[in-house]
Amino acid sequence: MRVILTSVVAATLVLPVLASEPAPTGFFESSIAAQLAAERVMLDTPTPQKTRRWLAHLTEEAHVAGTPQEKVVAEYVRDRLVEFGLETEIVRYDVFLNHPKEVSLKLIAPVEEELSLMEDVLDVDKDSAAHGVFPAFHGYGASGDASGQVVYVNYGTPADFKKLEELDISVEGRIALVRYGSVFRGVKVREAENAGAVVEIIYSDPEDDGYMQGDVYPDGPMRHPSAIQRGSVQFLSVQPGDPSTPGYPSRDGATRLSRSQMKTVPQIPSLPISYREAEKILRELGGERVPDEWQGGLPFSYHVGPGGAAVEMSVSMDEGLKPIFNVFGYVRGSSEPERTVILGNHRDAWTHGAVDPNSGTAAWLETARAVAAAVESGWRPARTIVFASWDAEEYGLVGSVEWGEDRAADLSANALAYLNLDSAVTGPRFGVGGTPSLRDVIRESIARVPEPQEGGTVGEHWEKRQRGEWAESTQVVLDQPDAEFELHLGQLGSGSDYTVFLDHLGIPSMNFGFGGKYGVYHSIYDNFRWMEKFGDPGFIYHVAAARFYGTLAMRLAAADIAPLRYESYGPALREELDVLRRDVVRKRRSAEEIDQDSVLNSDFAAVLGALDTLANAGERFDQAVDAALERGDTAAASAINTAVLPIERALLTTDGLPARPWFRNVIYAPGLTTGYAPWPFPELRQAVEDDDAALFARGSERVTAALLEMARRLDTASAAAGSGN
């Protein structure tokens, strides 16, 4: 098997020599040959052997943010960038973090039994016995002792807690037991706290990522019965970053909030546990049988409680200011050095982090090595490429948010794009989300990457899959023209380091990775053995990730005219608005069926009209850019490159979104009640969720104004393209 794999890797990683290659967007004809030659140097550089070496070293030990080992990993990354020939920098921030001192969880009724807060040691997996791994805890989880009866609340979503009210069951003064999934864990703890629970316990149900999804580790990729999903419970959809310095950077001398003053961290303790330990609680629960949709994958009928089971929890945290380290490498631009293209990945992990995040770190390092090879061959970008290695992402995007807040003025003025890579590989399925202006350059860049196993390119397989999914989901309306497929990028919400750049600063952003079955998320089994056996045995998709990342960065940094395209922006947003409009119709009909009035009679005419205006302005801009490229007009190119930077900043509002002013983008934000998942048109979505006519009217006015302002800036840039001024 090993011989076969080696031959396949050798065959698929050799790039074909093409007689002609498609012209990249944004380049004068005179620049294309040199750019493609430099890209070929970059594309030929990444190897499975190097990415394997980087990942093995990065994952030797657990490296939680704020620990000495994470600083060791930061210095390792810095040293590799120096080895590649890049200018480097380490930026330190002292931020509020917590680590567990003592944690315990005990079943006290109907019998007494200590519940395990560590994973099993497996003979075949040396890392499962590693020292220095913290037991179960939640980042930003509160200290405290509590005991009480248990109530099961399914996924712990706002809808689940509302359902509990309908069942006339209260969690007040009790222990809420919920399963991972559906929404971010911080939302679960916030909802439990608001409902009066004294503690929340979160477990991973086998229906979601355990044996119901495939063979479990160590025989397969899915969650072992003892595996624990650590993670942060910060209220991420309200505001990420250091909770002691909300909205401003954690510089020396910054005003600090005490924990009791912080608005984005829980006040009740919480712990994650495995489904093996959760089963001991769930089997004993009394009360009613759960609603059918609350039944999980354990082999018995779930009950809601209370009664039958009670637990006792004790959590003691070491919390306070701890140092974190962002590492940077620079390829300085020649003609526009102040303008930047930023490639970001975080290093910190809850355990060894072979998938999350260090598959991304390994691919990111190979990207840096490959771009450095292109520079050594004589290539030089117009704009500066910034390689950013973030710390403390797992706690709440802390490293990137503090840096983004610290450098907000410069980033707002000069950042062309932010390109994020978190977990690079769990399998072979390419996925990418991003702002519509990046669609064309992403599409062209991924089309240059060979598919390591299936033949053709990754781009061909991605577009084919997107088209198939669109065909299955599209409803054809009779007596109307059939819809036509148009490729769009996935939506971005939050949950990774693009958040400060897109949602707070309005910088065009993207996030990508190769996906597959992955059941060891945030557990001790997310380690090198899992990656080598299940995630990417030949490290061929790590290479594919580096090739795409490098191509995209080189094109954005070197194009004569920045390759942001806007013709598809309006249509992409129209598709997202149509989802919201359909939800309004469904809610309106539901209200009518029970003879209730609904404020959701709001029409979307103003927003739809603004989207049409934006689409037309985007088309004019792209045509003006194409004409300037055809003329080889260097004066127009310079004017466009200046005028394009503020275009998407038009989507920002000064006072932010309702109840969470740090999020300033009126189009892109995570859901207030989802945490990670996106809510396009967030203010309008909030109005629909809350049935709030006044909020809808205000949101519609703000969205309309922002879209029209973006269209105006596009027309200004088009005029600059024509005049060269």
Query: Other C-beta atoms within 10 Å of 261: how many?
Result: 10
39 assigned to active site:
no
Report how far residue 35's alpha carbon sits from residue 43's, in angstroms, rounded to the nearest whole number: 12
Does residue 482 register a pLDDT over 60? no
Residue-range domains of the chain with CATH: 31-95+322-474+484-558 (3.40.630.10), 99-320 (3.50.30.30), 569-723 (1.20.930.40)
Q: With H, G, I as helix, E, B as strand and everything else as coil, classify residue 153.
A: coil
pTM, entire model:
0.95
Active-site annotation holder among 393, 405, 451, 576: 393
- Whole-number pLDDT of residue 132: 87
Question: Which residues have C-beta within 8 Å of that of residue 275, sequence separation ≥ 6?
Answer: 203, 204, 205, 206, 210, 223, 225, 298
* pLDDT tens-digit readout, 361-407: 999 999 999 999 999 999 999 999 999 999 999 999 999 999 999 99
* pLDDT tens-digit readout, 428-463: 999 999 999 999 999 999 999 999 999 999 999 999
Report how far residue 439's alpha carbon sits from residue 516's, in angstroms, rounded to the nearest whole number: 23
Mean pLDDT over 712-724 rounds to: 87
* pLDDT tens-digit readout, 181-222: 999 999 999 999 999 999 999 999 999 999 999 999 999 999
Q: At 328, phi and psi to the nearest 5?
A: -130, 145
Mean pLDDT over 258-262 rounds to: 96
Mean pLDDT over 512-533 rounds to: 98
Q: With H, G, I as helix, E, B as strand and everything else as coil, classify residue 421.
A: strand
Report how far residue 177's alpha carbon sits from residue 192's, in angstroms, rounded to the nearest whole number: 9
- Whole-number pLDDT of residue 591: 67
